[in-house]
Amino acid sequence: MNGIVEVSSNVPNDTTPAEWPGIVSRFQLVILAAHRNKQLLRGAQPRIAVDRLKRRNTSIALEELKRGLILFKPLAVEEAHEALSTHEFPAVLARA
């Protein structure tokens, strides 16, 4: 074994705007879904009709993002570097 592990994924490498409005990469999708998941855990109401006993917060967050129901503001590169250097992380998602 040479130490290299290949990871397969069901997520396509490219995301089309029609499928995920406003999402430009899988990394952005993961970060936004995590933020929305935390909002749901803290008591925010889902923006889609779901049975919370049958669906987890993560799948609810992903469905909301896919439907374009979550508003977010992408940070400029300079703003992101400044936030990282000062340890001040602005809210990425609009409050529910």
Residues 58 and 37: beta-carbon distance below 8 Å: yes
**CB-hemisphere CA count at 13 Å for 47?**
17
pLDDT cut 70: percent of the chain above it = 65
- Per-residue pLDDT tens over the stretch 24-64: 888 989 999 999 999 999 999 999 999 878 899 999 999 99
Residues 61 and 36: beta-carbon distance below 8 Å: yes
Q: pLDDT category, 23, cuts 50, 70, 90?
A: confident
Closest CA to 63 of 48, 73, 52, 74: 48
